[in-house]
Amino acid sequence: MMKINQPYFILNLSPWPILMALNTFNLMISNIMIMNFKFNMMSLMNMFMIISISILWWRDVIRESTFQGNHNFYIMNLIKFSMILFIISEMFLFISFFWNFLHNSLAPSIELGLNWPPKNINFFNPLLIPLLNTIILLTSSFTVTLTHLYLLNNSKKKTIIFMNLTIILSIYFLMLQMLEYNQATFTFSDSIFGSSFYMATGFHGLHVIIGTIFLMINLLRMMKLHFSFIHHISFELAAWYWHFIDIIWLFLYMTFYWWNN
Amino acid sequence: MVLEVDGVKLETAPWDPRFPNTNQTKYCYQSFLDYQRCKKIRGEEFDACQYYKRVSKSICPNAWIDKWNTQIEENRFPGNI
Amino acid sequence: MTWLKLSFQNSNSPLMEQLIFFHDHTIFIIIMIMSTITYMMLFIMNNKFINIKISENQMIEFIWTTTPPIILIFIAMPSLHLLYLMDEIKCPILTIKIFGHQWFWSYEYSDFSNIEFESYMMNDLNKENFRLIEVDNKTIIPFKFNIRLLISSDDVIHSWTIPSLAIKIDAIPGRMNQINLFMNRPGMYFGQCSEICGINHSFMPIQIESINLNKFIYWIKNF
């Protein structure tokens, strides 16, 4: 046996990494099958597999951290640092969308007749639903911070109330975004304008969905008393992610909605 | 630079400081657009319009000019004329 | 042909002349560096002694960090100069539009009446032509004049290349790329597509016939 003289937790053997890797590979291949043969059974099965593996893997992590207490402060620092790196990589994903948008809007191509927005695109008023969405997201950022405050103050009831509020606000945001997509007079295929707009806001929406799921799981864990006022790293990471989504939205609102008009 | 040899005038679109790059796509498009605008205001026979017409003919691929003319005829040209 | 396989083709334009000079200049510097390094390596390998002053030797550190940038400046200056010279367009008398297709080139001379033609590779092995680089319709261009070339493509990316004129420019669909062409003397100049563009990529050669202006005008009148 290896003598334990370092602070890091050595993981037990786990089937999830290899299974996840194989299923991700399969998902890529089955997406090609969707594109080429319109056959989506494979992809759905793989999505189901990936979701199941994710659930089981995260269940294991919760067991290791909360129930076995393996996540000490060194591990917590590592996890926090990984989350920072992950968020930075996500930022670069959005930077590419902004770059694409600015490139195409500051010097529109000749296919658009050097016009931006292109002819016959009726863009919606940024001061209506989008502004409301901005307010909703900012409020949810505020409530998630309040949740953190009450969690630090060991006040379970208020923590859960504000957590619920945050999730309700995020779902409200998603519903409004869906309403707006339904009302839009232009589509994904309406020139680079539609493509870049739906690409960026759609990816933002996807991130809101991911963030909401993250917050929901944290709410569940809060109600099951998984968190203490010194050890609640999952919630902290969810809050960081939520702030990140909020900031991205602010930039999206400024360029894609407000400046675009 | 204009050269005339045996009755053939060698003259082409000049270097345009608005388009100093290797990419000359917008030189082509802009002169085509200018020709269409000029034609709309001053008529085709106007001297300046002829200049733009010559430049766009020299710079633009014939296929593009044909395509844009069809678009204008069918009233689906993306530019502002 | 044997020597041309080892080095550049003879230059036919001022730019290519300069590029060959630049190439020689760079090779000269590389040989200088190589011989110095080889000498030093052999010297070190055959040396039995140990230098007690080699570590923390600030002087040698200073020398080996400052000399490479200085050498690089001597390479970069003429390189950048040439790079910008190649982009320059100088009062062209003629514009030739060149389009890449799968797998042939087409040319448009539309300064006069519209001259359009396509040039395919010669497939006739009975004649005494160069194999795979001769075309049926040669591109006729007058020498000693500045010509503007506009290169584009109709399908995939191709690249229009004449090594002896220092021209290699990508043909990109939806975009016109401009380059200046100036030829010193009459002759036949050959090139091939230089961007892999599909199955017959190697069979879409470029052939320029460089002739004097009067002959060129004659050709235009009788096209």
pLDDT average, residue stretch B62-72: 93
pLDDT tens digits for range C213-222: 999 999 988 8
Contact C108 B62 (CB under 8 A): yes
Contact C94 B12 (CB under 8 A): yes
Same domain, A192 and A134: yes
Contact B61 C176 (CB under 8 A): yes
Contact B8 C214 (CB under 8 A): no
Tell which wins on pLDDT, A206 or C223: A206
For chain A, say whether B23 makes contact (Cβ under 8 Å). no
The confidence score (pLDDT) of residue A132 equals: 95
Is residue A189 over pLDDT 80?
yes
Same domain, A105 and A145: yes
Give the gap in angstroms from C-alpha B16 to the nearest C-alpha of chain A: 18
Q: How far apart are CA C121 and CA C105, in angstroms?
A: 9
For chain A, say whether B33 makes contact (Cβ under 8 Å). yes
The confidence score (pLDDT) of residue C157 equals: 95
pLDDT tens digits for range A19-35: 999 999 999 999 999 99
DSSP state of B12: -
Burial of A144 (0-12, 13-18, 19+ CB in 10 A): buried
Q: Is A230 helix (H, G, I), strand (E, B) or coil?
A: coil
Query: In sequence order, what are the residues at sequence separation of 6 or more whose Cβ sits closer than 8 angstroms to the Cβ of residue A208?
Result: A170, A173, A174, A177, A245
Tell which wins on pLDDT, A1 or B19: B19
| Among chain A residues, CA nearest to B31 | A110
Contact B80 A115 (CB under 8 A): yes
Percent of chain A scoring above 70 in pLDDT: 98
Same domain, A167 and A218: yes
The confidence score (pLDDT) of residue B79 equals: 86
**Could you say which residues from 34 to 63 on chain C have a Cβ atom under 8 Å away from some Cβ of chain B?**
none
Q: Give the count of domains, chain A.
A: 2
Percent of chain B scoring above 90 in pLDDT: 52
Joined together, the tokens standing for residue A96 give 């590419």
| Mean pLDDT value across chain A | 92
Longest pairwise C-alpha distance within chain A: 72
Mutation choice for B interface testing from A106, A109, A111, A114 by most B CBs within 10 A:
A114
What is the number of residues in chain C?
223
Same domain, A203 and A225: yes
Q: How far apart are CA C213 and CA C210, in angstroms?
A: 9
Query: In sequence order, what are the residues at sequence separation of 6 or more whose Cβ sits closer than 8 angstroms to the Cβ of residue C46?
Result: none
Give the gap in angstroms from C-alpha B77 to the nearest C-alpha of chain A: 8
Alpha-carbon B44 to chain mean position: 13
pLDDT tens digits for range A56-105: 999 999 999 999 888 888 889 999 999 999 999 999 999 999 999 999 99
For chain C, say whether B41 makes contact (Cβ under 8 Å). no
Give the gap in angstroms from C-alpha A129 to the nearest C-alpha of chain B: 29
The confidence score (pLDDT) of residue C4 equals: 61
- Read off the CATH number of the domain in which A246 is found: 1.20.120.80
Query: In sequence order, what are the residues at sequence separation of 6 or more whose Cβ sits closer than 8 angstroms to the Cβ of residue A156?
Result: A222, A225
Tell which wins on pLDDT, A12 or A140: A140
Joined together, the tokens standing for residue A138 give 């900012």
3-state secondary structure A45-78: HHHHHHHHHHHHHHHHHHHHHHHCCCCCHHHHHH
Distances (CA, A) of A76 to A106, A150, A225, A233, A236: 44, 21, 19, 7, 11
The confidence score (pLDDT) of residue A72 equals: 86
pLDDT tens digits for range B40-63: 998 888 888 899 999 999 999 999
Spell out, as residue ranges, where chain C has pLDDT lower than 70.
Answer: 1-4
**Model-level pTM?**
0.82
| Mean pLDDT value across chain B | 89
The confidence score (pLDDT) of residue B80 equals: 86
Contact assessment for residue C11 and residue C166, using Cβ atoms and an 8 Å cutoff: yes
Contact B26 A113 (CB under 8 A): no
Contact B14 C152 (CB under 8 A): no
Mutation choice for C interface testing from B16, B24, B26, B28 by most C CBs within 10 A:
B24
For chain A, say whether B80 makes contact (Cβ under 8 Å). yes
Give the gap in angstroms from C-alpha C126 to the nearest C-alpha of chain B: 36
The DSSP line for B20-32 is -SSB-HHHHHHHH
For chain A, say whether B71 makes contact (Cβ under 8 Å). no
Distances (CA, A) of C25 to C17, C77, C196: 12, 12, 31
Residue A3: band (very low, low, confident or very high) from pLDDT cuts 50, 70, 90: low
- B contacts of C99 (beta carbons < 8 Å): 61
The confidence score (pLDDT) of residue A11 equals: 83
Q: For residue A232, give the nearest of A137, A142, A140, A156 by alpha carbon.
A: A156
Give the gap in angstroms from C-alpha A105 to the nearest C-alpha of chain B: 15
Output the CA torsion sign for C66, C71, C75, C78. positive
Same domain, A199 and A168: yes
At residue C147, φ and ψ (nearest 5 deg) are: -120, 140
At residue C178, φ and ψ (nearest 5 deg) are: -110, 140
Domain boundary residue, one of A35, A50, A71: A71
- Read off the CATH number of the domain in which A19 is found: 1.10.287.70
For chain A, say whether B51 makes contact (Cβ under 8 Å). no
- C contacts of B3 (beta carbons < 8 Å): 93, 213
| Among chain B residues, CA nearest to C180 | B22
pLDDT average, residue stretch A102-123: 89
Same domain, A248 and A146: yes
Q: For residue C143, give the nearest of C208, C83, C84 by alpha carbon.
A: C208
Same domain, A106 and A195: yes
| Among chain C residues, CA nearest to B17 | C89
The confidence score (pLDDT) of residue A2 equals: 56
Q: Which residues pair with C208 in a beta bridge?
A: C139, C189
Q: Please, what CATH class does the domain formed by C94-222 belong to?
A: mainly beta
Which residue blocks in chain C are alpha helix, DSSP H?
A: 2-6, 14-45, 58-87, 213-221
Same domain, A44 and A91: no
Same domain, A76 and A187: yes
Burial of A98 (0-12, 13-18, 19+ CB in 10 A): middle
Distances (CA, A) of B61 to A62, B58, C69, C153, C158: 64, 8, 45, 10, 16
The confidence score (pLDDT) of residue C10 equals: 87
Same domain, A147 and A99: yes
Alpha-carbon A219 to chain mean position: 16
Same domain, A30 and A78: no
Contact assessment for residue C192 and residue C161, using Cβ atoms and an 8 Å cutoff: yes
pLDDT average, residue stretch A237-259: 94
For chain C, say whether B11 makes contact (Cβ under 8 Å). yes
Same domain, A49 and A3: yes
The confidence score (pLDDT) of residue A220 equals: 94
Reading phi first (left if > 0) and then psi (alpha if -120 to 50, else beta), residue A186 is in: beta
Residue A123: band (very low, low, confident or very high) from pLDDT cuts 50, 70, 90: confident
Range with the lowest mean pLDDT among A1-10, B63-72, C198-207?
A1-10
What domain range is A28 assigned to?
1-71
- Domain-wise residue ranges, chain C: 14-87, 94-222
Give the gap in angstroms from C-alpha B43 to the nearest C-alpha of chain A: 22
Q: C14-87 in CATH: which number?
A: 1.10.287.90
